[in-house]
Protein backbone atom coordinates (compact mmCIF):
# COMPACT_ATOMS: atom_id res chain seq x y z
CA UNK A 1 0.00 0.00 0.00
CA UNK A 2 2.95 2.33 0.61
CA UNK A 3 4.03 1.96 -3.01
CA UNK A 4 0.55 2.94 -4.20
CA UNK A 5 0.45 5.93 -1.85
CA UNK A 6 3.76 7.16 -3.26
CA UNK A 7 2.44 7.01 -6.83
CA UNK A 8 -0.91 8.74 -6.35
CA UNK A 9 -1.91 12.20 -5.20
CA UNK A 10 -3.62 12.39 -1.81
CA UNK A 11 -7.05 12.78 -3.45
CA UNK A 12 -6.42 9.90 -5.85
CA UNK A 13 -5.25 7.69 -2.98
CA UNK A 14 -8.42 8.52 -1.04
CA UNK A 15 -10.43 7.19 -3.99
CA UNK A 16 -8.19 4.13 -4.40
CA UNK A 17 -8.59 3.01 -0.77
CA UNK A 18 -12.38 3.04 -1.22
CA UNK A 19 -12.10 0.34 -3.90
CA UNK A 20 -12.88 -3.24 -2.88
CA UNK A 21 -9.88 -5.32 -1.88
CA UNK A 22 -10.28 -7.41 -5.05
CA UNK A 23 -10.33 -4.28 -7.24
CA UNK A 24 -7.30 -2.82 -5.40
CA UNK A 25 -5.40 -6.08 -5.89
CA UNK A 26 -6.30 -6.06 -9.58
CA UNK A 27 -5.24 -2.42 -9.93
CA UNK A 28 -1.82 -3.12 -8.39
CA UNK A 29 -1.35 -6.04 -10.78
CA UNK A 30 -2.28 -3.82 -13.73
CA UNK A 31 0.06 -1.06 -12.54
CA UNK A 32 3.00 -3.47 -12.15
CA UNK A 33 2.50 -4.72 -15.70
CA UNK A 34 2.26 -1.15 -17.01
CA UNK A 35 5.48 -0.27 -15.17
CA UNK A 36 7.30 -3.12 -16.94
CA UNK A 37 6.01 -2.12 -20.35
CA UNK A 38 6.21 1.67 -19.95
CA UNK A 39 8.96 2.28 -17.37
CA UNK A 40 8.96 5.83 -16.07
CA UNK A 41 5.48 6.67 -17.39
CA UNK A 42 3.90 7.84 -14.14
CA UNK A 43 0.68 8.91 -15.85
CA UNK A 44 0.09 5.46 -17.36
CA UNK A 45 0.96 3.93 -13.99
CA UNK A 46 -1.66 6.11 -12.29
CA UNK A 47 -4.20 5.12 -14.96
CA UNK A 48 -3.44 1.48 -14.19
CA UNK A 49 -4.18 1.99 -10.52
CA UNK A 50 -7.37 3.97 -11.06
CA UNK A 51 -9.08 2.70 -14.24
CA UNK A 52 -11.78 0.88 -12.23
CA UNK A 53 -12.28 3.53 -9.53
CA UNK A 54 -15.86 4.23 -10.65
CA UNK A 55 -16.92 0.96 -9.06
CA UNK A 56 -16.64 2.65 -5.64
CA UNK A 57 -19.87 4.53 -6.38
CA UNK A 58 -21.87 1.39 -7.13
CA UNK A 59 -22.91 -1.51 -4.92
CA UNK A 60 -21.57 -4.35 -6.98
CA UNK A 61 -21.63 -7.78 -5.49
CA UNK A 62 -20.73 -10.86 -7.48
CA UNK A 63 -24.24 -11.23 -8.94
CA UNK A 64 -24.24 -7.68 -10.33
CA UNK A 65 -20.76 -8.15 -11.79
CA UNK A 66 -21.62 -11.47 -13.46
CA UNK A 67 -24.92 -10.20 -14.89
CA UNK A 68 -23.16 -7.05 -16.13
CA UNK A 69 -20.45 -9.08 -17.86
CA UNK A 70 -23.05 -11.24 -19.60
CA UNK A 71 -25.49 -8.44 -20.45
CA UNK A 72 -23.09 -5.69 -21.55
CA UNK A 73 -22.62 -6.87 -25.15
CA UNK A 74 -26.38 -7.19 -25.63
CA UNK A 75 -27.69 -4.03 -23.99
CA UNK A 76 -27.98 -0.72 -25.79
CA UNK A 77 -28.51 2.53 -23.83
CA UNK A 78 -32.26 2.66 -24.54
CA UNK A 79 -32.82 -0.90 -23.32
CA UNK A 80 -30.64 -0.23 -20.27
CA UNK A 81 -32.69 2.84 -19.39
CA UNK A 82 -35.88 0.76 -19.65
CA UNK A 83 -34.40 -1.98 -17.47
CA UNK A 84 -33.29 0.55 -14.85
CA UNK A 85 -36.91 1.58 -14.37
CA UNK A 86 -37.80 -2.02 -13.45
CA UNK A 87 -36.44 -1.93 -9.91
CA UNK A 88 -33.38 -1.47 -7.71
CA UNK A 89 -31.39 -4.43 -9.03
CA UNK A 90 -31.63 -3.19 -12.61
CA UNK A 91 -31.03 0.40 -11.56
CA UNK A 92 -27.86 -0.75 -9.81
CA UNK A 93 -26.90 -2.76 -12.89
CA UNK A 94 -27.27 0.38 -15.01
CA UNK A 95 -24.96 2.25 -12.63
CA UNK A 96 -22.43 -0.57 -12.67
CA UNK A 97 -22.35 -0.63 -16.45
CA UNK A 98 -21.73 3.13 -16.36
CA UNK A 99 -18.90 2.91 -13.81
CA UNK A 100 -16.22 4.02 -16.32
CA UNK A 101 -17.92 7.42 -16.71
CA UNK A 102 -18.56 7.65 -12.97
CA UNK A 103 -14.87 6.97 -12.38
CA UNK A 104 -13.84 9.63 -14.87
CA UNK A 105 -15.92 12.22 -13.03
CA UNK A 106 -14.46 11.16 -9.67
CA UNK A 107 -10.95 11.45 -11.08
CA UNK A 108 -11.69 14.82 -12.67
CA UNK A 109 -12.88 16.02 -9.26
CA UNK A 110 -9.68 14.69 -7.70
CA UNK A 111 -7.59 16.74 -10.13
CA UNK A 112 -6.15 13.74 -11.98
CA UNK A 113 -4.25 14.11 -15.23
CA UNK A 114 -6.55 14.29 -18.27
CA UNK A 115 -5.16 11.02 -19.65
CA UNK A 116 -6.07 9.23 -16.39
CA UNK A 117 -9.58 10.72 -16.51
CA UNK A 118 -10.12 9.76 -20.14
CA UNK A 119 -8.68 6.27 -19.70
CA UNK A 120 -11.09 5.58 -16.84
CA UNK A 121 -13.95 6.56 -19.17
CA UNK A 122 -12.63 4.75 -22.26
CA UNK A 123 -10.94 1.60 -21.01
CA UNK A 124 -13.77 -0.68 -22.18
CA UNK A 125 -14.22 1.00 -25.55
CA UNK A 126 -12.90 -0.34 -28.84
CA UNK A 127 -9.57 1.15 -29.84
CA UNK A 128 -11.13 3.12 -32.70
CA UNK A 129 -13.24 5.00 -30.11
CA UNK A 130 -10.28 6.06 -27.93
CA UNK A 131 -9.26 9.69 -27.60
CA UNK A 132 -6.12 8.73 -25.65
CA UNK A 133 -2.57 7.97 -26.76
CA UNK A 134 -2.66 4.54 -28.43
CA UNK A 135 0.70 3.35 -27.10
CA UNK A 136 -0.38 3.94 -23.53
CA UNK A 137 -3.87 2.59 -24.19
CA UNK A 138 -2.59 -0.62 -25.75
CA UNK A 139 -0.18 -1.19 -22.85
CA UNK A 140 -3.00 -0.63 -20.36
CA UNK A 141 -5.37 -2.98 -22.20
CA UNK A 142 -2.71 -5.71 -22.22
CA UNK A 143 -1.98 -5.15 -18.54
CA UNK A 144 -5.68 -5.16 -17.64
CA UNK A 145 -6.39 -8.35 -19.57
CA UNK A 146 -3.40 -10.20 -18.07
CA UNK A 147 -3.81 -8.95 -14.49
CA UNK A 148 -5.41 -11.17 -11.89
Residue 72, pLDDT score: 66
User: What integer is the mean pLDDT of 24-43?
Assistant: 98
Residue 56, pLDDT score: 87
Distance between CA atoms of residues 6 and 36, nearest Å = 17
| Sequential DSSP letters for 78-116 | HHHHHHHTT-HHHHHHHHHHTHHHHHHHHHHHTT--HHH
Distance between CA atoms of residues 127 and 32, nearest Å = 22
State pLDDT tens for residues 64-101.
Answer: 555 655 666 667 667 666 666 676 666 656 666 678 88
Amino acid sequence: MDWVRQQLSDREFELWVQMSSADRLHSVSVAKRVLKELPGDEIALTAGFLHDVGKVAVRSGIVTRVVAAIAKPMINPKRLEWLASRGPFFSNLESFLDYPHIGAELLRGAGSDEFVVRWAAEHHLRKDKWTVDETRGEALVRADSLAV
